Structure 1
């Protein structure tokens, strides 16, 4: 059988398109096998999901609702050209912060982080690179080593004693009602000023141990900076809008940061002069340590601006967790007196009633630490950790994560994950107790709750952080009885809409529970 030219042409016209179609089908099959982005709302061209973000403030609740609606533990929200990846699964968090930690060890570039860190000269906010490595070595080896921790022991005890004295004076000289948020915040402020500058007050302070006008201004500025670093600002995701301040964040952050610098910079500059002219030769605090560091040629290891930047980061980064955790835990256990009683019984058994709690008691206070762990699980200071940035394309949980993605580990999302925790919304310290005769810690290697994190970007000051938090809580519970204020049947446990702090500061009715001589012995 012979094929004529016309028939051959017809066959050619049929076979070639069919062949092309098969090739395209094969290509699409291959493409379909390529991991896709995590689920999320459909983005608009150029701006991504920014219009939805602006229409659904606060962004925290919008992201929570997206993940709940999609029933997912990892999502992708595109803001401008940035893929923002929130995560609520411990197993996925482990892939990111442990298995692929080297890929996710950087930080986003943002106006707020650049301004506060004076151009990324310190540690926490600085993207991955040589400057971050240099400053992290300084923190780990020089400031928070076990030897330094012991060296600063007496300063921490001074502020723990002042905490008790201040609360005692408030109760003795007033109605017995104490604003425990205020107390916790200023304990943290006093402590960090003591460690940094060896002083409690910038001004004259108060005779009752409370803050003066300078300390009130300073602590307010510290928390204002904490609230606005890495806030969701449109200009951070659309580079052509970098100079604009649509939300007013830049104005607020500039004012707060400059307030802190107003107090820090004169002390730092005067102290450097003292070391140079020989009028100061003995290290008393972290500032002295930073100034005294030398390079191989016996020249200053850190520049003036590096010292100022690192001091700023420490002053801001150590404030939020202790007060927030203790305020929430006290609120929960005042509403559940049987839990409060168990904590008191443990403290009385370990410490007795003839002295105050000391740091050496901490390893034996497992129920106290279980209460604090449960507080971190239910009520972290912010749902989002400081963002991590992927430094190259990768795959996580079978999803494609593009280079430059911002990873947000949702602390509260993990802590309240019903796939991980039984009765996730109930405050149950016992869930953290495993066996007798061991030292319960506030760390969590499985990331089933998120306190200090893990990997290269985890908080390096775990020992200090644990000490500060436990001492604040233990001194308040051991030293005083606490009940809800008159005419209030219980403590309000509502969260603010804009973040995860309590709607109302915890005000409780306090009463000394130790012999009076214990309080009177405090200097």
Structure 2
């Protein structure tokens, strides 16, 4: 999805080529000529092969020679694709450079892709930037379907993100959430950037959970600060239009230098991982296995190294696999979870009566003389409905992660070519008036009704797929299910929140790898709990 962020207009394409890749006019003409030649050859080949099939290609808008439909798309791809779906139907085709993009916008067709033909659509269309950053695309997010991917997912679901493992590192999550509450309590009656606060909190929770027993407090804070800067640079590179993704034949030239820049960032992160892994191994050798079982020593890195030592000879779990999993958790977990916390808090601020109902529920379950703990969360049914409604209206990845069929197949009566890019428009599906009553209204109560109370974020109901579905559903879902309600519940139970005086907050989206709020969310806290020691 991020591989072809289409904010750039038609006029910016040659300017990128000129300013970032070539200094000579003749070289520019040569590259554009090559792109035009391969674009025409590809178009002729597609037209020839599609005419042979029994089923036609999906309908869609005509584009321009060479660049396809690129210049007609805005920065809000999910909205643009939604408007096109109104004209062309729930499955449509666009040409983006030499790429064929199929967009699916209905629960029925999403079910076809993610369940009925799940094995066929289990591969990704991997952008060049992801290959450079994520160990040649061998991480759990981008790896092709096969034994290696199955190994990584098994390690996550069975060992790393099982209930037992998550329970064993709860003390680390609790420590960072309590620190968040202390930080907010030191800024009472001051304006707080909740977007910033939630990002730092989730980042601290993840760094603590991943290697909290390995590093001391200062070490964790240093890594968190450096990782934040790294993430911002990596996301900015990933979000750029990349000519290599639109015209794969030109990828070896890396015309914009995106891959070179991303590789430099990848080397830095790899060195960080090597250093921390070395510290962990040294700690284990000094402490011994018995000492290492102490609660304060446990973290995800400890668990992963144990798995590495007890690896299966047939499908070995390598150090590179370990690093790839760490990177996935840090990048995907931080950005998506913090974004969803900010969206949830924004909706609660916009709807004070809903905020009040959430606080009353927490008060009944937790009490005003106590702090929120993770064991309380399953009892907070209305908060769960609020978070589901937030996911419905503001999915972190509105187009999910792209899929690519391993063979030509048929979806909804149309041919979907092998190797094309397939996007599921969850944003449109979850706002479809045919499925949802008053779909633009923030109404958590809908998820407490008989019609929708079985809609879970685990991808079993294709009207509601914020984390995807099938074998490529987000593997970090078990951790997100704990972190998101824990952070939100702690914020609304410990504090009252209000807009700064005179604020006219613009609740707009900024489309990207993860769709964030266009304007930072700023609010003012005041204490709710009568016992000051609960903020200590």
Alignment TM-score > 0.5, same fold: yes
Query: What CA deviation, in whole Å up to 9, does each residue of 1:422-451 have, x standing for no partner?
Result: 222211111111269x99854352121222
Separation of aligned partners in 1, 2:214 and 2:77: 35
Aligned partners of 2:255 and 2:314: how far apart in 1? 44
* Residue number among 328, 331, 347 corresponding to 1:316 in the alignment: 331
* Cα distance in 1, alignment partners of residues 507 and 214 from structure 2: 32
Contact 1:391 1:403 in 2 (8 A): yes
- 1:252 CA displacement: 5.7
Q: C-alpha deviations, 1:47-80, integer Å up to 9, x for none?
A: 462xx31564437268426625625222111234
Q: 1:479-498 to 2 correspondence within 5 Å?
A: 479-488=494-503, 490-496=504-510
1:5 corresponds in structure 2 to: none
Mean Cα deviation higher: 355-364 or 118-127: 118-127
Decide whether aligned partners of structure 1 residues 227 and 356 sit closer, same or farther in structure 2, where only a CA change above 3 A counts.
farther
Instruction: Say which of 136, 160, 165 aligns to 2:153.
Output: 136
- The match for 2:376 is 361
After TM superposition, the structure 1 = structure 2 runs for residues 290-301 of structure 1, keeping only pairs within 5 Å, are: 290-293=304-307, 294-295=309-310, 301=316
Partner Cα separation in structure 1 for residue 70 and residue 53 of structure 2: 31
How big is each residue's C-alpha offset from its partner over 1:384-430, in whole Å with a ceiling of 9 and x where there is no partner? 21111111111111111111122111221222222222222211111
CA distance in 1: counterparts of 2:257 and 2:105, whole angstroms: 30
| Contact 1:452 1:458 survives alignment (8 Å) | yes
Match of 2:143? 126
Q: How does 1:122-201 map to 2 (within 5 A)?
A: 122-171=139-188, 175-198=189-212
Output aligned runs, 1:324-339, within 5 Å. Answer: 324-339=339-354
Q: How far off its partner does 1:192 sit?
A: 1.0
In 2, the alpha carbon distance for the partners of 1:392 and 1:33 equals: 13
Query: How many pairs does the alignment contain?
Result: 479
Q: TM-score, normalised by structure 2?
A: 0.81
Moved more, 383-392 or 240-249: 240-249
Question: 2:480 matched to 1:460?
Answer: no
Match 1:37 to one of 57, 65, 71: 57
Instruction: Give the secondary-structure state (helix, strand or coil) at the position aligned to 2:509.
Output: coil
Instruction: Structure 1: give runs of 5+ residues left out of the alignment.
Output: 1-29, 206-210
Give the Cα–Cα distance (whole angstroms) in 2 for the partners of residues 108 and 413 of structure 1: 21
C-alpha RMSD of matched pairs (Å): 3.1
The residue number in structure 1 matching 2:111 is: 94
Please state whether the residue corresponding to 2:208 is helix, strand or coil.
helix
Q: Which residue matches 1:11?
A: none
- TM-score computed with the length of structure 1 as normaliser: 0.83
8 Å CA contact retained: 1:179, 1:507: yes
User: Among residues 206, 231, 251, which one is paired with 1:242 in the alignment?
Assistant: 251
Deviation of 1:232 (Å): 5.0
> 1:8 is matched with which residue?
none
- Which of 462, 475, 481 does residue 447 from structure 1 map onto? 462
Aligned to 1:112: 129
Once the two structures are TM-superposed, the CA of residue 203 in structure 1 deviates from its matched residue by: 7.1
How far 1:230 sits from its partner (Å)? 7.6
Relative to structure 1, is the Cα distance of residues 405 and 110 closer, same or farther in structure 2, using a 3 angstrom cutoff?
A: same
Q: Render the CA deviation track for 1:124-176: whole Å, top value 9, x for unaligned.
A: 211112211222221122201221122112212112212211211222xxx52
Larger CA Rg, structure 1 vs 2: 1
SS at match of 1:504: coil
Residues 193, 200 of structure 1: 8 Å contact kept? no
- Is 1:267 matched with 2:276? yes
Compare relative contact order (CA 8 Å, sep 6+) and give the higher one, 1 or 2: 2
Preserved CA contact (<8 Å) 1:359 1:467? yes
Q: Distance in 2 between matches of 1:439 and 1:150?
A: 26
Matches within 5 A, 1:39-58: 39-43=59-63, 47=66, 49=68, 52-54=69-71, 56-58=73-75
Name the structure 1 match of 2:90.
73
Q: Compared with structure 1, are the counterparts of its residues 259 and 146 closer, same or farther at alpha carbon in structure 2 (3 Å cutoff)?
A: same
Task: Report the 3-state secondary structure (helix = DSSP H, G, I; strand = E; otherwise coil) of the residue aligned with 1:218.
Answer: helix
Distance of aligned partners of 1:439 and 1:509 in 2 relative to their CA distance in 1, 3 Å threshold: farther
Distance 1:494 1:298 in 2: 51
Residues 411 and 348 (structure 1), Cα distance of their counterparts in 2 relative to 1, 3 Å cut: same
Say if 2:431 is the partner of 1:411: no
Q: Deviations over 1:219-272 (max 9, x none)?
A: 242254356558652212322211345566446644554453453331123334
CA contact (8 A) 1:369 1:442 kept: no
In the alignment, the residues of structure 2 paired with residue 482 and residue 225 of structure 1 have an alpha-carbon distance, to the nearest angstrom, of: 33
Runs of at least 4 residues of structure 1 off by over 6 A?
A: 30-33, 200-203, 296-300
Q: 2: distance between equivalents of 1:265 and 1:158?
A: 26
C-alpha distance in structure 2 between counterparts of 1:444 and 1:431, whole Å: 18
**Alpha carbons of 1:443 and 1:141: their partners in 2 closer, same or farther (altered >3 Å)?**
closer
Q: Is the 8 A contact 1:453 1:459 kept in 2?
A: yes
1:69–1:440: structure 2 CA closer, same or farther, 3 Å change rule?
closer
| CA deviation after TM superposition for structure 1 residue 42, in Å | 2.5
Paired residue secondary structure (2:471): coil
CA distance in 2, matches of 1:442, 1:323: 17
**Cα displacement (A) at 1:503:** 1.6
* Corresponding residue for residue 82 of structure 1: 99
Cα distance in structure 2, aligned partners of 1:213 and 1:371: 34
